Amino acid sequence: MPTDTPGIPADLTMAHFHHMFSFHFMVNAFRAGTIVAVVAGAVGWFMVLRRQSFAGHTLAVVSFPGAAGAIWLGVSATLGYFVGSILAALVIALVPRSSSGRTRSQESAVIGTVQAFALASGVLFVSLYGGFLDSLTGLLFGTFLGISDGQVVVLGVVAVVVLAALAAMGRPLLFATIDQDVAVARRVPVRVLSVAFLVLLGCTAAEVSQITGALLVFALLVMPAAAAQQISPRPGVSFALTLVLALAITWTSLAVAYFSVYPVGFYVSTIGFGVYVLAAAGRALADRVGSRSPRRSAPTAPTAPTALAVQP
């Protein structure tokens, strides 16, 4: 481990940070973390809005066998991450929705099976290349060790592409997310956008996996966006706030993980969860305070006779 005495030093000073950044791999880790945080924040913001958190989690999980398989085959793990997630994204996006009444429960049975099989395949590859727990833990729960320059470059390039694509399709995507029927009527290519977004989500999941580990991508994809959207309903504000929170969480997690022995993914998920809880609590508090004001909303009487009938 980087420090000889684990644990955050009691006399933490700038000197410690200088010392941390004197290690090239830490510099790389922070570079990678920054890139990943921005992408995760941006794409995650849309993902939370589109209620596709479970899909995001599944795409991240699938990156694990991709990476493990790549290691076994002797190719770059980074490549494996991306191949796994993008392939899965394409499969999910392009498998035609059957009209035979497949529903939530059957779809979730399929997704659950896919997830389990992906994890099983990952452990197969790890076993085949003779990896031990450290390797496994790194892939599943994140590591900041050994991020090479090449990896940083790849992460950066993919991030630029993803962000550019997101910028280009952001507005129609937002439209299609919030108001699908009207968007379809206005000739917005909703289906193409959905497929494209899933591919972007796959790329993002693969990127984030390399910092937080395949199992904890959810934390960085969801929590900053969810927290930001609790704090403000205005899209511009919550979007910017998501990026800020994602960066803050990632930097803090990396720094703390440097000083301690525990996996980065744990810090990301814990700090992220803490931020989310604070935001949600703040929102609940604000609502309670707001409702004490005289302009309390009256219970709305139904305007149509059937308004109270329970919807089918």
Partner 1 sequence: MTGTLGAILYPWVGLSHMLGHPFLRSAFGAGTCIALASGLVGYLVVLRGQVFSGDALSHVAFTGALAALAFGLDLRAGLYGACIVFGILMAALGRRASADDTVIGSVFAWILGLGALFLSVFTTAQSGTGAVGSASGINVLFGSILGLSTSEAWSDSIVALVVVGAFVAIGRPLLFASLDDAVAGARGVPVRALGYGFFVLLGITAGVATQAVGALLLLGLLAAPAGASQRLTASPFAAMWLSAGFAVFSMWAGLTVAYLAPRVPPSFGILAVASGVYLVAFVATATVDRLRARWSSSKSPAPLSPAVTGGAPGGS
Partner 2 sequence: MTSPDAPGRATAAGRGTPPGSRDGAAASDGPAVRLEQAAVRLGGRTIWSHVDLEVDPGQFVAVLGPNGVGKSTLIKALLGTLPLAEGHATVLGRSPGEAGRDIGYLPQRRNFDPGLRVRGIDVVRLGSDGDRWGLPFPGGASLFARSRAERRRIDEVIELVGATAYARRPIGRVSGGEQQRLLIAQALVRRPSLLLLDEPLDSLDLPNQASVAALISDISREYGITVLIVAHDVNPIVSYLDGVIYVARGGVVSGRPEAVITSETLSDLYRTPIEVLHTSDGRMVVVGQPEAPAHHADRHTGHPR
The total of other beta-carbon atoms located within 10 Å of residue 154's CB is 20
Residue 183 CA from chain centroid, whole number: 26
59 binds partner 1 (CB under 8 A): no
Q: Using an 8 Å Cβ cutoff, are 183 and 172 in contact?
A: yes
Q: Name the one residue in this structure whose structure tokens are 């290519």.
A: 189
Total residues at the site for partner 2 (CB under 8 A)?
18
The single-letter DSSP state of residue 216 is G
Q: Which of residues 198-257 bind partner 1 (CB under 8 A)?
A: 213, 215-216, 218-219, 222-223, 226
C-beta of 13 vs 300, nearer to partner 2: 300
Q: Using CB under 8 A, which of 111, 195, 244, 248 touches partner 1?
A: 111
x/- mask, partner 2, residues 72-101, rule CB under 8 A, reads ----------------------------xx
Stretch that binds partner 2, among 73-81, 86-94, 163-171, 303-311 (CB under 8 A): 303-311
Closest Cα to residue 62, out of 26, 111, 103, 24? Answer: 111
Residue for token digits 């969860």?
273
Q: Of partner 2, partner 1, none, which one does residue 270 interact with (CB within 5 to 8 Å by kind)? A: partner 1
**Which listed option, partner 2, partner 1, none, makes contact with residue 219 (CB within 5 to 8 Å by class)?**
partner 1
Contacts of 163 (CB under 8 A, 6+ apart): 38, 39, 42
Return the closest-CA partner of residue 143 out of 234, 253, 252, 14: 253
Q: In the complex, what is the shortest distance from the CB of residue 199 to partner 1, in angstroms, rounded to a whole number?
A: 21
DSSP H or E stretch at residue 52: none
Residue corresponding to tokens 């973390």: 33
Residue 312 contacts partner 2 per CB under 8 A: yes
Give the one residue of 4, 132, 187, 233 binding partner 1; rule: CB under 8 A: 132
Residues that bind partner 2 (CB under 8 A): 100-106, 299-302, 305-310, 312
